[in-house]
Amino acid sequence: MINKQRLVETFLKLVQIDSPSGDEELVSQELTRRLKVLGGKVEPDSYGNIICHFKGQGESLLLNAHMDTVEPGRGINPSIKKDRIISDGRTILGADPKAGVAIILEALTSLKEDQKSSVPVEVVFTREEESTLGGAMSLDYKKIRSKHGIIFDGDEGVHRIFVSSPWYLSVLIEVTGRASHAAEPEKGLSAIEIGAKIIAQLELGRSDFETTGTVGLVKGGSAVNAVAELMEIKAELRSRDKKKLLKEAKKVEKVVLQLAKQYPEAKIKLKMQEEFQGFKLPPTHPAIQRATAALKAMSLEPQLIDTNGGSDANIFHKHGIEVVVVGTGAANGHTTREYVVIDQMVEAAHFCEKLLQ
């Protein structure tokens, strides 16, 4: 049986082990110990991610949470206040990700205790999700057989299933003009003027409900009394539809080309790079079907949600493991006002156990 008391104790213990991104060693040791007690075969990879196999019958399922937290995440001092667990206000709570970790451990503990049969499970605890997604990027995928998985890393209730994430391109435009003294502007060619025209013609912002573009950073010029020789524009494009993203990228190319024609003496360099690969699962997808069946068995109404950010999920998809993210009861993540609703965490543990049966 899922045991609320035990789950809360596990959670409290885990958040008191500091694990800001890059500093996951201690929590990794504790998780490895716990997984071994549960009878799992732990195989760390060379990057320090944890991969752990549990035998079972049927189609294998991957369960993931990350191990790292954001800062301020050292010396966390949690306490229970009514229906929630909170920090003392000096640090985050670390429910992102430790609620997810504790939920997975409780479900496995309950199954073992009750000697219930389960599908084969691969537990993957990743490093550095918050900083670079470096753990998921360096994960040893040869050690993983699951085709589908569930990531316990979402906000609020477990009925919230995050089913998509955008493709994301970074855009760098470097304009080189010609410097001159401000008193003789006709001798120069202003990179800032050209850059400004580029930005104006890009017409970024929201193209539709799932496609956006933003110029986030500009840098240029060397002095207020000189025509600027250099300007750098950093922008990003994202869309949950890859075709739309490519269309936006084409528009950027066209604008840059046009300005290059208009200013043949200037040099305009454009560099676009895919930073994340997105995903968009249809409601009929087996990973979603598995999750919704478990929720319905608990009389919970699934809610399918699109996201606009990237996470380990994007990296799993890139490697052919189709995952969705579900809520863990956590809220106000990445702030010192972070908390977790205990009953939502318990519900997520029940859900996790159902998934595996």
Planar angle of CA 145, 134, 143, nearest 5 degrees: 20
Amino acid found at 20: P
How far is residue 185's CA from residue 189's CA, in Å, rounded to a whole number? 8
Q: Which CB atom, from 45 or from 153, has the smaller least distance to Zn ion?
A: 153
Q: CB of 69: closest distance to Zn ion in angstroms? A: 8
In the complex, least distance from residue 56 CB atom to Zn ion, rounded to whole angstroms? 27
Q: Which is nearer to Zn ion, 96 or 229 (CB)?
A: 96
Backbone torsion region of residue 48, taken as left when φ is above 0, otherwise alpha when ψ lies between -120 and 50, otherwise beta = left
Determine the Cα–Cα distance for residues 261 and 351; give it in Å rounded to an integer: 59
94 binds Zn ion (CB under 5 A): no
Other Cβ atoms less than 10 A from the Cβ of 184: the count is 9
Which segments within 182-286 are labelled E, that is strand? 205-208, 211-220, 226-227, 230-239, 267-276, 279-280
Q: Which is nearer to Zn ion, 21 or 239 (CB)?
A: 21
Q: Provide Rg for the chain, Cα atoms.
A: 24
For residue 96, state whether it binds Zn ion (rule: CB under 5 A): yes
Find the binder of Zn ion among 97, 135, 188, 310 (CB under 5 A).
97
User: How many angstroms separate the CA atoms of 174 and 4, rounded?
Assistant: 56
Count, residues near Zn ion per rule CB under 5 A: 3
For the CB of residue 162, give the shortest distance to Zn ion in the complex, in Å: 11
Which residue, 69 or 118, has its beta carbon nearer to Zn ion?
69
Looking at 18, 96, 129, 193, which residue is catalytic?
A: 129
- Collapsed DSSP state (helix, strand, coil) of residue 258: helix
Reduce the secondary structure of 185-203 to three states and give it as a string: HHHCECHHHHHHHHHHHHC
Q: Which helix (H) or strand (E) holds 31?
A: helix 25-37
Least distance (Å) from Zn ion to the CB of residue 68? Answer: 8
- Token pair recorded at residue 242: 């890859």
Question: Of 150-158, 167-175, 211-219, 238-246, which part binds Zn ion (CB under 5 A)?
Answer: 150-158
CB-wise, 126 or 138, nearer to Zn ion? Answer: 126
Report in angstroms how near the CB of residue 278 gets to Zn ion at its nearest. 18
Considering the complex, what minimum distance in angstroms separates the CB of residue 330 from Zn ion? 8
Element (H, E) at 244: helix 242-262
Binding mask 50-69 for Zn ion (x = CB under 5 A): --------------------
135 binds Zn ion (CB under 5 A): no
Token pair, residue 5, equals 């008391």
312 among known catalytic residues: no
129 is catalytic: yes
Among 45, 153, 229, 312, binds Zn ion (CB under 5 A): 153
Torsion sign, CA atoms 162, 353, 147, 131? positive
Find the part of the chain contacting Zn ion (CB under 5 A) among 93-101, 103-111, 193-201, 275-283.
93-101
Where does this chain bind Zn ion (CB under 5 A)? 96-97, 153
Residues acting as catalytic residues: 68, 129
